[in-house]
Structure 1
Amino acid sequence: MRERILITVAVVLALTGVARAQPPSPDGLAAARRLVATMKLPEQYKAMLPTILLGIKPALVQDRPEIERDYDAMAAAVSDAYAPFYDAMVDGVSALYANTFTVDELRQIEAFYRSAVGQKFLAEAPALAQRREIIVQDIGRKAGDELKARLTDSLRQKGHRL
């Protein structure tokens, strides 16, 4: 889970650079910002900080209690240093959406997310994503096992020793 969040941060930061290549229209950017807020993405980005800090902690603390105490005390103050990254995520994703969709499309998407079914989708999306990932990994593992067995048999039939 932590790795997925860190990958998401990296992708969002990479997209921030891509989104800056073409400045979106002011109307498009405003509509995209409203959509981003409606989708509750800012809250999700803010919630990533504790996971980021937990990912950094083992490398810095190195199982030393004296460092861990200081790290934990300092971690709360680090949230100010996270603010520019958080802002960059919101800005980058807003620009990405503004460059991808028309103002009218952004308004339609926002209307969906404001609807009852859109709100339910937003509420269920994290759990669905986790369950979807489990399904995909499980089936992918089974496919890999099956393909490996078939390829092993085929290679043995050709006289290869495996």
Structure 2
Amino acid sequence: MAFWTDGNMMRGAKAVMGAVLAAGLIAMAAPAFAQEVAPEQLALARKYIDLTDRGAVFETTVVEVGIDTMRQIVTQNPEIIDQTNETIGDVIKEYNGRKGELLDQFARVYAMRFTLDELREIVGFYESPTGQKLAAANSEVNADIRRVLQVYTNNLRTEFFAKVRSGLRAKGVEI
């Protein structure tokens, strides 16, 4: 098992696993864009997207890309911070009217995964008071879930390592 002790090989394995995962995700998404869907199905999927887009995913993504671009340029050229900031603001404005393009792509993914009747049920739920409450609470709930998962993961790492160490000790290996 020398494979696991060599850091370079482990990094290589992670890179290969990442590439395989990315290829799998691309392969899963490809059929969603290759097939046609009924306009009514696409419209219902888009309605679902509109009902649940409480996190303003498009706007958030554009601003995050703007911040990343600012960091990249200003780190190497701190003397042009003002011009960069102004230009990034101008570019963000160019994207203001393009939200529909991304949301239409999201809708196509849902339209490919759900039947017309299922989409009707989904939209009906999200139009109900409970569905609206769920949509409004999703980003806060997801943040809470990420925090719970982080605590769990930290505890799991410690416990897992201790169990492996104990198992190695039982085999006469001290680390």
Q: Smaller-chain TM-score range?
A: 0.7 to 0.9
2:81 equivalent among 60, 68, 71? 68
2:6 counterpart residue number: none
TM superposition shift of 1:47 = 3.0
For 2:45, the aligned partner's letter is A
For 2:162, the aligned partner's letter is A
Structure 1 residues 72 and 17: alpha-carbon distance in aligned structure 2, compared to 1, 3 A threshold: farther
Confirm whether residue 142 of structure 1 aligns to residue 141 of structure 2.
no
Structure 2 residue runs without a partner (length 5+): 1-25
1:120 counterpart residue number: 133
Tell whether the 8 Å contact from 2:66 to 2:92 is kept in structure 1 after alignment.
no
Aligned-partner SS, 1:20: helix
The structure number with the bigger radius of gyration is 2
Tell whether the 8 Å contact from 1:36 to 1:42 is kept in structure 2 after alignment.
no
Structure 1 range deviating more: 97-106 or 33-42: 33-42
What is the CA deviation profile of residues 52-102 of structure 1, one whole-angstrom value per residue up to 9, with x for unaligned ones?
A: 211222111117443211111011211255469744421221111111111
TM superposition shift of 1:19 = 2.3
1:151 equivalent among 161, 164, 167? 164
Aligned-partner SS, 2:83: helix
Aligned-partner SS, 1:24: coil
Confirm whether residue 49 of structure 1 aligns to residue 66 of structure 2.
no
Structure 1 residues 16 and 53: alpha-carbon distance in aligned structure 2, compared to 1, 3 A threshold: farther
2:114 equivalent among 101, 111, 116? 101
CA distance in 2, matches of 1:127, 1:42: 10
Higher relative contact order by CA 8 Å / sep ≥ 6: 1 or 2?
A: 1
CA distance in 2, matches of 1:135, 1:43: 24
How high is the TM-score relative to the length of structure 1? Answer: 0.80
**Superposed structure 1 runs of 4+ greater than 2 Å apart:** 14-19, 40-44, 63-66, 79-89
CA distance in 2, matches of 1:42, 1:139: 25
CA distance in 1, matches of 2:103, 2:29: 9
CA distance in 2, matches of 1:126, 1:116: 17
CA distance in 2, matches of 1:121, 1:104: 21
Structure 1 residues 136 and 42: alpha-carbon distance in aligned structure 2, compared to 1, 3 A threshold: closer
Structure 1 residues 93 and 41: alpha-carbon distance in aligned structure 2, compared to 1, 3 A threshold: farther
CA distance in 2, matches of 1:46, 1:151: 45
Structure 1 range deviating more: 14-23 or 151-160: 14-23
The number of residue pairs the alignment matches comes to 150
CA distance in 2, matches of 1:138, 1:42: 24
Structure 1 residue runs without a partner (length 5+): 1-13
1:6 counterpart residue number: none
How high is the TM-score relative to the length of structure 2? Answer: 0.74
